[in-house]
Structure 1
Amino acid sequence: MNARLADLLDRGADGHEPGPEAVLEALFDGGVFVPVTEAGSVLFLPDDERRPTLLGFTDAALGARLLPAAAGMVHCDAARLREILEKTGVAVLGIRSGNGQATVPAQVLRHWASRGPGAEMQLDWSADPVAVALRDALARRIREFPAVRSAWVAHARWRESGEEQLIVHLAVDEDLPSASAHRLMRTLLREEMTLGPEHPEVGMLALHPATHADSIADLDRRGLDTVRHDAASGRVHVISREFDDPAVVAANGAPAPVTQPRPRRRWFGRS
Structure 2
Amino acid sequence: MSAPERIPSRGLTEAGLRTLLAEGELTVLGRVRGASNAVLYCTVAYEGEERTCVYKPVAGEQPLWDFPDGTLAQREVAAYEISEATGWGLVPPTVLREGPYGQGMCQLWIEAEPEEPAEEDSDGLGPLLGLVEAEEPGEGWKAVGLADVGEGRTALLVHADDPRLRRLAVLDAVINNGDRKGGHLLPAPDGRLFGIDHGVTFNVDDKLRTLLWGWAGEPLTQEATEVLDTLLAGLAPGAVLATRLGELITETELDALRGRVESLRKSGRHPRPSGEWPPIPWPPV
TM-score range, shorter chain: under 0.3
The answer to which structure has the higher helix fraction is: 1
TM-score by length of 1: 0.24
Q: Which structure's CA Rg is the greater one?
A: 1
